[in-house]
């Protein structure tokens, strides 16, 4: 699995996963059928859900396993350590340091059709979560299903394009504000984040 990236702001990249397994086209269908979501419900009944597969022979498990692979980590950590914002925040973090000391997490993600927009937030704690990303499983580029990410200079929001196995990578800091763009449309994806404890 290969990460192709395009830097669109000081702390933000669009990404696309390439050379993915032949079964990757089935991931959306499998997520739509999945019933074991852990749902985080709002008072109005809308929800955000997450899911970590445990059945090792399923495509969902194998796909997530690719995200957690040494190859993916090396590409991700190489990208992070070449970013100026990341270097300013973590000047001693090299690829080797991250391989030895960081932990990459990942889980599938669903947002209900009726989920209301919340305020922009930063993933905490920012000194431990050093980067985060989301890859969408949807076939169209639909800004209503995307993510609003505040630009580095705090003057406007950027709507990250969507698409199958496309998404974003964000260097985490107090300027990494983001929120769901979700106007009556369900969306699926896989989240990942890097912690240094």
Using DSSP, state whether 9 is helix, strand or coil. Answer: strand
User: Can you say whether the dihedral through the CA atoms of 81, 85, 86, 88 is positive or negative?
Assistant: positive
Cα separation, 61 vs 78, in Å, equals: 25
Alpha-helix runs per DSSP H in the chain: 27-33, 59-67, 70-80, 84-89, 95-101
Count how many domains the chain has: 1
Name which residue leads in pLDDT, 75 or 120: 75
b/e burial code for range 82-121 (CB count within 10 A of at least 16 → b) = ebebbeebbeebebeebeeebebebbbbbbbeebeeeeee
43-58 residue pLDDT tens: 777 888 999 999 999 9
β-bridge partners, 148: 159, 179
**pLDDT bucket at 152, cuts 50 / 70 / 90:** very high
Q: What is the CATH number of the domain that holds 24?
A: 2.60.120.620
pTM across the whole model: 0.93
CA angle 162, 126, 96 (to 5 degrees): 85
Range of the domain at 105: 2-196
Query: Could you tell me if 24 and 63 are in contact, meaning their C-beta atoms sit under 8 angstroms apart?
Result: yes
Average pLDDT of the segment spanning 100-107: 97
What does the mean pLDDT of the chain come to? 92
Q: What is the pLDDT, as a whole number, of residue 182?
A: 66
Q: What is the pLDDT, as a whole number, of residue 197?
A: 83
């Amino acid at each position: 699995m290969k990460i192709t990236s395009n830097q669109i702001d000081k702390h933000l990249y669009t990404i696309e996963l390439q050379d993915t397994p032949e079964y990757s086209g089935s991931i959306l269908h499998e997520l739509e059928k999945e019933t074991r979501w852990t749902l985080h419900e709002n008072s109005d009944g809308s929800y955000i859900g997450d899911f970590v597969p445990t059945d090792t022979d399923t495509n969902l498990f194998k796909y997530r396993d690719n995200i957690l692979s040494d190859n993916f980590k090396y590409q991700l950590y190489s990208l992070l350590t070449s970013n100026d914002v990341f270097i300013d925040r973590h000047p001693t973090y090299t690829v080797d340091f991250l391989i030895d000391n960081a932990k990459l997490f990942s889980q599938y993600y669903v947002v209900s059709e009726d989920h209301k927009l919340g305020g922009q937030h930063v993933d905490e704690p920012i000194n431990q979560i050093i980067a985060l990303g989301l890859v969408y499983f949807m076939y169209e580029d639909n800004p209503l299903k995307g993510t609003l990410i505040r630009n580095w200079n705090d003057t406007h929001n950027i709507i990250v394009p969507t698409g199958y196995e496309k998404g974003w990578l964000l260097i985490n800091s107090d300027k990494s504000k983001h929120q769901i763009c979700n106007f009556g449309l369900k969306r699926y994806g896989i989240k990942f984040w890097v912690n240094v404890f």
